[in-house]
Amino acid sequence: MGKGAIKLLVVDDQSIVRKGICALLEQVDDIDVVGEASNGIEAIAQAKTLHPDVILMDLVMPKMDGITAIQQILAHQPRMRIMALTSFVAEDKVLPAIKAGALGYLLKDSEPEELIMAIRKVSRGEPSLHPTVAKMMLEELSQPVKQPLTPDPLTEREVDVVRLVAQGLSNRQIADQLVIGEATVRTHVGNILNKLHLANRVQATLYALREGLTSLDDQNRPDNQE
């Protein structure tokens, strides 16, 4: 693998699925599978020793499920980037995974190109949600909020930034579009997450969808894909 390749940990209880994913990604120059795990307990141990850039996490596994593993990994390694990969789109699987801190959610029947693109996006800290999952989360977030998320409203520039985050743009792309420095974008994103009490960019994306700052059509525009 090339220098600077994305270090990936693949977690799935089905050996044939793990081996299939690994065989697929062996052909991708910028992704390096550094380990495999068959359950959540193994995933936690591998995350501590291998320090992967991205964890591809199945949700339904023996010994420890993926959602519990996500929670425990992020409790000790909060900067870890995790993407759920599962056959299930049931609400009791999707919502807990996202709320636990998963930065992406992809279905196992997705095309290989979608998986590769999603891994790249999540490795950059960008959200990657299957449209079906995004719609489900939007419905959940459409419920009335009992109290304001923050007494300190977003500034006009922060609204601009969260809108572009929700459209899937990277910090560099946001900086270019708003004609500001990339470090300034990072500061704005941090302020947004703190003000809204959100864990990551995927939750900021869902906030923007709920508030009408963007739409699923904007998020999935061709010019936002790589």
Domains of the chain from N-terminus onward: 6-139 (3.40.50.2300), 144-217 (1.10.10.10)
pTM over 0.75: no
- Three-state secondary structure of 183-207: HHHHHHHHHHHHHHCCCCHHHHHHH
- 174 close to 164: Cβ distance less than 8 angstroms: yes
Burial class of residue 34, CB neighbours in 10 A (0-12, 13-18, 19+): middle
| Banded model confidence at residue 101, pLDDT cuts 50, 70, 90 | confident
**Confidence (pLDDT) at 144:** 47
User: What would the pLDDT profile of 103-145 be if each residue is shown by its tens digit?
Assistant: 888 888 888 898 999 999 889 888 777 767 766 666 665 554 4
Give 169-226 pLDDT, tens digit per residue.
888 889 999 999 999 998 998 888 888 877 777 778 777 877 777 665 554 444 444 4
Cα gap 204→147, rounded to integer Å: 17
In this prediction, residue 226 carries a pLDDT of: 46
Is 37 in contact with 83 (CB distance < 8 Å)? no
